[in-house]
């Protein structure tokens, strides 16, 4: 993924509508509202007026499906470049891809260097269409121009959601996306109660397939599900730790009406309730801290965790309470990641200093897992 050093980040939810009805969607309040240019301009001017200490800006244009408000995307791009073009900027969007055709493709192609798009796709067509349906009920796979994304952004990242219905084909879909050339950012659907008796053996088989594939194909980058920098295990966890991938970035989020939230997960659009969202309307990222109420408090594996405060709140009603199912899945994935790294180091035939450190970390992480799981089983 692209990265701008020392950046400030804001998120604009430019539409609270979507042209798909994915079966696992956590955005509960699709009300059709769209952000106006006047609202976006006010937020942008305020953000750029306070760049003290920052050298660049990351602007996330979010939905719903952001390209339902393509007119605003164009206006925001033009306004930022004309008025703040001296400050490096990166625009990020997550899209279902179904509206990225014709004029949209041409417009993006000419600006690809300052845009990063993540495509939501859940594997091969049968997997994808099972989850990601059009409003009328048909699958959306054939509405996506995969080649455009691959040709415009090398190793374009894709968001692949794994749920109970597609878990049995997780490995197949992941490998297919990797072979196509995508950077597969796969993750479990967490806003649901999993049936562990059924899902654990299925997940184990899928992880075994990924271990076999990545151990043999050293040229392939690892998918997110089994990608771990094991040496992070030794990093101390202090009060500044934020328990979420990327949440330690400076972040301000604004819904379609310009109302502030600490992140997308705490907007009315996501919580579905003014009352729930109001609890966090004065929160800043720095307010999200571990407490002893958190089941992960003191766990050294937290560096490898794939969930966040907002995910916890949506699933359990308590931002400090993680799903026990996802904790178990995470541990299974960590063990698979360890196996892959060991096999890759063995198969590449040489052990440099970095590999030696990774192997030692693998031993220590595995020991920690053994002790932790013995405690959890009691």
The pLDDT score that the predictor gives to residue 241 is: 66
Residue 213 burial (CB count, 10 A): 17
Residue 52 burial (CB count, 10 A): 6
The whole-number average pLDDT for the span 297-321 is: 83
The pLDDT score that the predictor gives to residue 298 is: 83
pLDDT digit string, tens, across residues 331-378? 999 999 999 999 999 998 888 999 999 999 999 999 999 999 998 887
* Residue 92 pLDDT level (bands cut at 50, 70, 90): very high
The whole-number average pLDDT for the span 30-59 is: 94
The whole-number average pLDDT for the span 61-87 is: 97
* Residue 296 pLDDT level (bands cut at 50, 70, 90): confident
pTM: 0.93
Q: Where in the chain do CATH 3.20.20.70 domains reside?
A: 1-170+248-287
* Residue 247 pLDDT level (bands cut at 50, 70, 90): low
**Would you say residue 65 has pLDDT above 90?**
yes
- For 1-170+248-287, the fitting CATH number among 3.20.20.70, 3.30.40.10, 3.40.50.300, 3.30.70.1290 is 3.20.20.70
The whole-number average pLDDT for the span 94-114 is: 98
Q: Higher model confidence: residue 303 or residue 254? A: 254
* Residue 273 pLDDT level (bands cut at 50, 70, 90): confident
Q: Are 265 and 330 in contact (CB under 8 A)?
A: no
**Would you say residue 240 has pLDDT above 70?**
no
* Residue 1 pLDDT level (bands cut at 50, 70, 90): low
3-state secondary structure labels for all residues of the chain: CCCCCCEEEEEEECECCCCECCCCCCCCCCCCCECCHHHHHHHHHHHHHCCCCCCEEEEEEECCCHHHHHHHHHHHHHHHHHHHCCCCEEEEEEECCCCCCHHHHHHHHCCHHHEEEEEECCCCHHHHHHHCEECCCCECHHHCCHHHHHHHCCCCEEEEEECCCCHHHHHHHHHHHHHHCCEEEEEECCCCCCCHHHHHHHHHHHHHHHHHHHHHCCCCCCCHHHCCCHHHHHCCCCCCCCCCCCCCCCEEEECCCCCEECCHHHCHHHHCCHHHHHCCCCCCHHHCCCCCCCCCCCCHHHHHCCCCHHHHHHHHCCCCCCCHHHHHHHHHHHHHHHHHHHHHHHHHCCCCHHHHHHHHHHHHHHHHHHHHHHHHHC
The whole-number average pLDDT for the span 273-280 is: 90
């Amino acid at each position: 993924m692209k990265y701008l050093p020392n950046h400030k980040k804001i998120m604009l939810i430019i539409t609270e509508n979507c042209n798909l009805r994915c079966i696992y969607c956590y955005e509960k309040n699709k009300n059709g509202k769209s952000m106006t240019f006047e609202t976006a301009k006010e937020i942008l001017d305020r953000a750029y007026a306070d760049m003290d200490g920052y050298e660049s800006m990351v602007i996330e244009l979010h939905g719903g499906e952001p390209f339902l408000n393509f007119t605003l995307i164009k206006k925001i791009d033009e306004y930022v470049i004309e008025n703040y073009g001296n400050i490096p900027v990166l625009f990020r969007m997550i899209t279902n891809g179904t509206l990225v055709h014709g004029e949209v493709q041409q417009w993006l192609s000419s600006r690809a260097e300052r845009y990063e798009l993540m495509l939501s796709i859940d594997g091969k067509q049968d997997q994808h269409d099972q989850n990601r349906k059009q409003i009328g009920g048909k699958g959306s796979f054939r509405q996506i121009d995969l080649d455009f994304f691959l040709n415009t952004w090398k190793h374009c990242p894709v968001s692949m959601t794994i749920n109970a219905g597609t878990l049995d084909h997780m490995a197949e879909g992941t490998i297919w996306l990797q072979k196509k050339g995508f950077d597969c950012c796969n993750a479990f659907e967490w806003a649901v109660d999993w049936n562990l008796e059924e899902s654990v053996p299925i997940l184990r088989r899928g992880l075994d397939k990924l271990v076999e594939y990545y151990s043999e194909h050293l040229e392939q980058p690892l998918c997110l599900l089994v990608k771990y920098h094991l040496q992070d295990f030794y990093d101390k966890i202090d009060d500044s730790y934020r328990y979420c991938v990327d949440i330690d970035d400076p972040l301000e989020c604004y819904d379609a009406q310009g109302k502030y939230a600490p992140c997308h997960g705490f907007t009315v659009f996501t919580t579905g309730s003014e009352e729930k969202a109001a609890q966090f309307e004065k929160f800043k990222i720095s307010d999200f801290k571990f407490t002893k109420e958190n089941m992960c408090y003191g766990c050294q594996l937290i560096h490898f965790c794939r969930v966040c405060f907002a995910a916890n709140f949506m699933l359990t009603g308590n931002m400090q309470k993680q799903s026990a199912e996802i904790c178990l899945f995470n541990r299974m994935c960590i063990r698979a990641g360890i196996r892959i790294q060991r096999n890759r180091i063995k198969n590449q035939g040489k052990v440099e200093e970095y590999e030696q450190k990774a192997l030692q970390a693998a031993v220590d992480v595995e020991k920690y897992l053994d002790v932790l799981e013995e405690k959890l089983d009691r």
